[in-house]
Amino acid sequence: MSELRGTAVKLAHPKLAVEVAGLKFKNPVMPASGTFGYGEEYAPYLDLNKLGAIVTKGLSLNPKAGNATPRICETVSGMLNAIGLQNIGIDAFIEHKIPFLAQYNSPVIVNFFGNTLEEYVEVATRLEDVPGVAGLEMNISCPNVKHGGIVFGTEASAAHEVVSQVRKKTQKPLIVKLTPNVTDIRVTAKAVEDAGADAISLINTLTGMAVDVKTRKPRLANTIGGLSGPAIRPIAVRLVHQVVQAVEVPVIGIGGISRAIDALEFLIVGAKAVQVGTANFVDPNVMETIIDGLEEFCQNEGIEDINELIGTLEV
């Protein structure tokens, strides 16, 4: 309650809660996998309980060393990375990282990938009975590993096959993260929906490359990397717009979000939630600022529930 000219005035707190594939998020904002570590790296800077969800770095069956350095380089309003999915492996994650994340009430979504179909299935199986894992996000789209996800992500039939197999092994909400590096993303989106995905998240990074003109060497040891950051946002908004129209399952929008108005673009085209990636590196507290910004926007626009805004694009 507040006071205006002596009269008590109720300040409207708009509802920010959204639901995706049975997962209840207090707001539509969560980190994008790979930009938030295992959560603990950012705990000193922001209250993890404020997030819609916590999305972990991508995990594989066995620990993965990742690529040689240099692994990152800045480009105009963006960055290229070729980390190579360095991670501690699923067993170490369950043993050492889940207990930390379990302290928080934000649902934990575990991102995972495999080098083979069997590895995807095995990782999902191991996570099935782990308490504290609210949902899975399946990466079939990392551009930086040779065997990895991208083979599954760029062939609709392969995407269908791997998602079907994982679906058989998990009851948990299953989100499938798509690559934009395809001719028509609606084809892969439909394939994973048919295979039983509960939700679709997009976009992963766009493949890119930068060259040091003095040494004439690529700026990344891996030569090619994934482009992220504000530079890719218009492409991501377009792809989310197209996928929302092509599928029935809920969509989570990702790509270059660093402010509330960026997140709003994705919500308006029909994303039920958004993931914030590269912006976490620039400002460790950025997701809280975005959540506050969404609330303020709703207050100013007279929107009582953010769901009223989702998918309201006027064309």
Partner 1 sequence: MKNYKTIILSNQEISPGYYRMRILAPEYNKLAKPGQFVMFRVQRSLPPLLRRPFGIFCTGYAAPDCDGMPEKEFIEIIYKVVGSGTEIMQELHQGDRVELLGPLGRGFDLGDPEEEKILVGGGIGLVPLYMLAERMVANSKVRLLMGGRTRDDIITVTEFERLGVETYVSTEDGSLGEEGLVTQVLERKLAKYPKASVYACGPMPMIDAVQKICATRNTPLQVSLEALMACGVGACLGCVVKGAGHTDENPQYLCTCKQGPVFLAEQLDWSRLEKQQGNCGGCS
- The Cα–Cα gap between 240 and 186 comes to 10
Residue 123 sits in the site that holds partner 1 (CB under 8 A): no
Cβ at position 115, least distance to partner 1 in Å: 14
* Burial classification of residue 15, based on how many CB atoms lie within 10 Å of its CB (0-12 exposed, 13-18 middle, 19 or more buried): middle
Residue 104 sits in the site that holds partner 1 (CB under 8 A): no
Stretch that binds partner 1, among 19-27, 137-145, 181-189, 273-281 (CB under 8 A): 273-281
Interacting positions 77-96 with partner 1 (CB under 8 A): 77-79, 81, 83, 86
Nearer to partner 1, 70 or 311 (CB): 70
Stretch that binds partner 1, among 62-70, 105-113, 149-157, 182-190 (CB under 8 A): 62-70
- The Cα–Cα gap between 32 and 261 comes to 17
Does the CA dihedral 247-250-255-259 come out positive or negative?
Answer: positive
Candidates 126, 207, 209, 281; binder of partner 1 (CB under 8 A) is: 281
Residue 233 sits in the site that holds partner 1 (CB under 8 A): no
The total number of residues shown for the chain amounts to 315
Residue 226 sits in the site that holds partner 1 (CB under 8 A): no
Cβ at position 104, least distance to partner 1 in Å: 17
- Cα–Cα nearest to 17, from 300, 277, 298, 255: 298
Tell me how crowded residue 1 is: count the other CB atoms within 10 A of its CB. 6
Cβ at position 203, least distance to partner 1 in Å: 18
- The Cα–Cα gap between 237 and 254 comes to 8
- Residues 15-44, one symbol each (x = binds partner 1 by CB under 8 A, - = not), give --------------------xxx---xx-x
- The Cα–Cα gap between 270 and 313 comes to 8
Q: Residue 264, SS3?
A: helix
Residue 142 appears among annotated catalytic residues = yes
41 Cβ contact list (under 8 Å, min separation 6): none
Binding residues vs partner 1 (CB under 8 A): 35-37, 41-42, 44-45, 63-66, 69-74, 76-79, 81, 83, 86, 229-230, 278, 280-285
Please identify every residue annotated as catalytic: 142
